Structure 1
Amino acid sequence: MKKILVTIITLIAIIQISFGQENLEIVAELDKRPGNVAVGNKGRVFVTLHPLGSSKMQLIEITGKSSYKPYPNKKIQNVTNAPNDSKFDTPLGIVVDKDNWIWVIDMGLNLGKTRLFAFDIATGKQVFRYNLSKKIAPKGSFIQDLAVDKENGWVYLADIANPGIIAINIKNNTARRLTHKSVEAENVDMIIKGKKIHFGGKPARVAINPITLSADNETLFYGAMNGTTWYKLPTKLFREGRNDYSISKQIKVVGPKPVSDGATIDLNGNHYFTNPQNFGIDILTNNGELKPLLRNKKIDFPDNVRFGPNGWLYIAVNQLYKTPAFTGNKDLGKAPYYIFRTKVY
C-alpha cells in the first residue's frame, strides 16, 4: 500500500510539473487590472492598465513585486479620462521590438481617435506617432492588439469591433484594412467555471483578437477570440500592395487554438495562447499538436503573453470576464491581479 501511495504522489507531481504549476513565477501583484504586458531586452517590464477597468494611469513600468511607476512619464497619463489628444486615452496592446522600442496602440475610446505610439525604452522619448484615419479606424473601433515588423516598416493591428486586420506602412504613413471571414468570430461559447460568458449583454462572440508575426516577419498569424482556428498569411502581399482578393486567396489554416485573448510565437515556430476557459496557457507546437503548457487557478483570465529575455514567457492576468462589460452589472474582480512568467526554453 505504501508503494502504491508513493507511486500516486509521484504521478501527481509529474502531472503538476508537466502542466506548469511548479514553473510559474509571480512578477507583480497589482492593485489595478492589467491589460497587456511587454518586456524590454534588458528585462524591464511594462504593462497597460485595462480600459475596461478604471485607473488614473494607462501605461506603467513594474518596479517591484507590488510597485510600479508611470511610463514614460506622469505627464502623458490621463488622470481625468477627459479626451485629450496630448495624453494617453485607452491604450491596450503593447510590444517591444528588436531595437528596444515599445509600441503602444491606443484605441481612443474616449477620444474617438486611434493612435499608434512608439517610445525608446532607454530614454522614454516618443519616437513615432501615427493617427489612424476615421476611414481606417472609425469611431467605435476596438483596436487592441498589434504585431510590429520595423525591419520592413509595417505594423499590423487587430480590430475586434469592426472585424479586420489593419496594416500600417510606417515608412510612408499609410494604412489599409483587410476584411475576410477568417477575422470574424466563430459560433463558439466561452465557458468559465461552467458558466457561459456574455459580452455586451449576449453570449460573447469576439472577433479577431490575438495577432502575431513569425520571427522572420514573413508570416502574420491571427484568430478570433471566440474561435478555435489559427490562421496565417504572407506579409509580403501587403508590402507588394496586393488587393484584398489576392491576399484572401493566400490565407491558410495553421491549426487549432483555444478560445483565447492573446498569443505569441517563439523562434522555433511554436505558438502560445492564453486559455481563459481552463486557467492556463496552451501551446500549438511546430508539428501541429495543441496541448496544455500551464494550468493554475491563479491564471484567472490570462489576457496576453509576451516573451522576455532568456526564454521567459510573461503573462498578464486580469479577471477580465468579471468586468461590467461581461457581467452586465458590477465589477466582480478582486485584487491582486497578476503578471506571471514561466520559463519556456
Structure 2
Amino acid sequence: METLPKFTVLSFLIFFAIAANAGSNFDIVANLDNGPGNVTVTDNGRIIMSMHQFYQPKYTVVEYRDKVLVPFPNKELADVDSKAALKLDSVLGIRFANGIVWMLDNGMRSGVTPKLVGWDTKTNKLHQVILLPSPIAPKDEFVNDFAVDTRHNHIFISDPAGGANAALIVVNLATGKVRRVLEGHTSVVPENVDLVIYKIPVQVKDKSGKLIRPHIGVNPITEDLNNEWVYFGPMHGLSLYRIKADDLIDEKLDAKVLASRVERYSDKPISDGITIDKDNNIYLGELAANGIGVISADRKYKRLAENSNLSWVDSFCFGTAGQLYAVVNRLHQSATLNGGVLKAKPPFYLIQVKALAAGLAGR
C-alpha cells in the first residue's frame, strides 16, 4: 500500500482540524493547563480569568498575557498559599466595570468568610472589600457569579447555596450594605432535572459516600446594557427569569412584593454563566449538548454551536472590539462532579465565540 508523503499527511490533518470546527461559531484562543472558572476583559483589552477551585489551582486569579498565565493582581494575593492579609481563596465570579476588576471569593477552600474584592486597574491598588458574612451568605453558600450595575452602583450576586435556600444577594457599593433577597423563590431554586452529558450523569459523593445527582440553584446572572433588567435562573432549571434592577435595589419592598415583580422570561437549557449583547441576545453554554446557545430578543432559544471541544462552557465576557470570549473547563469530569474520580485532562480552553452583536467590555 502506497504511503502518502509527509507533507500530504500533514496537509490532510490540518484540513481535518479546520473542517472539524467549520461552521462551529467559535475559535480556540488558548490551550490552558488548568481549568478556568470565569473570564472578564478590561477596557484596554486585558484578559483576566479566575481558576476553578475544583482543580485546586496555585493561583486563584490570573491574567492571560503574551500567551502565558500570570498571577493577578499580583503573586501575593493570587497565590492561595500566601499568608497575605487579603489572600484570595476561591474566586469564581469575576467582572470588570469602570476601571475595577471585581472578584467574588466564596472562601470555600479555607472556610473563610466570602467576600467581594475590587481591584483598581488604573492605580493598581485595592479599591474595595465587602464581606458577605452569614446569614447573608449562609454556611452552605456557593456565591458564584454576579452582575455589576454601574447606573445604580450595585452588584447582584447569585448564590445557589443548598438549593432550597438559593437566593440573590444585593450589594450597595456606595454604602457597603448587603441584603439577601428572593430566597427560596421559584426563580432561584433548582428544578428536578438531572444533568447528563454524553449519557454520563453528573454525580457527587455525599458525606456517607453515596453517589447523588446534584440539582444546583441560581447561578447564571447578567444585566442588560441599559442596567434596566437583571436576568437569572437556576443552573439546573429550564427557565430564565428577570426582574427590574430598580426593584432589586429598593430596600422598601417587602419579600412578597419583590417576588411578585419577578417574571419568567424564556426557556433555557441547563446552563452555567451567561452574558448579554447590545441587542439583548443572551449567550449561554448548553451543558448537556457540549454546545453554545443564545436566547434572542424574541425570547426564543437556539443552539449556535455543538462540538466536543465545548465540554462545559462556563463563562462568557465581551472584549473591547465586540468579540465574545468564553472558557471551557470540563467540570463534569472534575473529581467534585464525577463521583470523586478526576477524569478531566488538559487542555482546557479560552475561546472566542462569533456573537450576533457587540457587547460591553467586561460584561
* Fold match (TM-score > 0.5): yes
Q: Normalized against structure 2, the TM-score is what?
A: 0.86
Report the secondary structure of 1:311's partner residue.
Answer: coil
Note if contact 1:41-1:100 (Cα within 8 Å) is conserved in structure 2: yes
Which amino acid is 1:104 matched to? Answer: M
Q: Which residue of 2 aligns with 1:132?
A: 132
Asked if the contact 1:71–1:124 (Cα under 8 Å) also holds between the matched residues in 2, the reply is: no
Deviations 1:200-227, CA, capped at 9 Å, x for gaps: 4311201100011111111111011111
CA drift at 1:243: 1.5
Structure-2 residue corresponding to 1:195:
200
C-alpha displacement of 1:343: 2.8
Instruction: Name the residue aligned to 1:114.
Output: 114
For 1:46, the equivalent position in structure 2 comes to 48
Contact 1:112 1:139 in 2 (8 A): no
- Quote the offset at 1:43 in angstroms: 1.7
Runs of 5+ unmatched residues, structure 2: 1-17, 206-210, 358-363
Aligned 1:140-155 pairs, distance under 5 A: 140-155=140-155
Residue of structure 1 in register with 2:239 after alignment: 229
1:309 corresponds to: 320
Deviation at 1:133?
Answer: 2.3
Paired with 1:147 and 1:274, the residues of 2 have a C-alpha distance of 17
Name the structure 1 match of 2:351.
340
Q: Which residue of 2 aligns with 1:95?
A: 95
1:170 equivalent in alignment to 2:173: yes
Indicate if the aligned counterparts of 1:317 and 1:338 stay in contact, CA closer than 8 A.
yes
Output the TM-score relative to the length of structure 1. 0.90
Within 5 Å, give how 1:17-56 maps onto structure 2.
20-21=23-24, 23-56=25-58
Cα pair 2:80 2:88 within 8 Å, conserved: no
Q: In structure 1, what is the Cα distance between the partners aligned to 2:28 and 2:59? A: 22
Q: What is the match of residue 183 of structure 1? A: 188
SS at match of 1:75: helix
Structure 1 alignment gaps of length 5 or more: 1-12
How do residues 69-88 of structure 1 correspond to structure 2 at under 5 angstroms? 69-80=70-81, 85-88=85-88
Shift of 1:14: 12
What's the counterpart of residue 320 of structure 1?
A: 331
Matched, 1:217 2:227: yes
Q: Number of residues paired by the alignment?
A: 327
Distance 2:283 2:331 in 1: 19
Relative to 1, partners in 2 of residues 1:64 and 1:337: Cα closer, same or farther, differing over 3 Å? farther
Partners of 1:108 and 1:114 within 8 A in 2: yes
96 and 239 in structure 1: CA distance in 2 versus 1, 3 angstrom threshold? same
- Is residue 312–residue 332 contact of structure 2 (8 Å, CA) maintained in 1? yes
How many angstroms apart in 2 are the aligned matches of 1:229 and 1:328? Answer: 27
Secondary structure in 2 matching 1:272: strand
Q: Which amino acid aligns with 1:214?
A: D
Query: What SS is found at the alignment partner of 1:135?
Result: coil
Q: What percentage of aligned pairs have identical amino acids? A: 30
Of the three residues 326, 329, 337, the one matched with 2:340 is 329
Q: Deviations over 1:120-171 (max 9, x none)?
A: 2234321111011222012331001011113311111011114100001111
- Closer/same/farther in 2, CA of residues 265 and 281 from structure 1, 3 Å limit: same
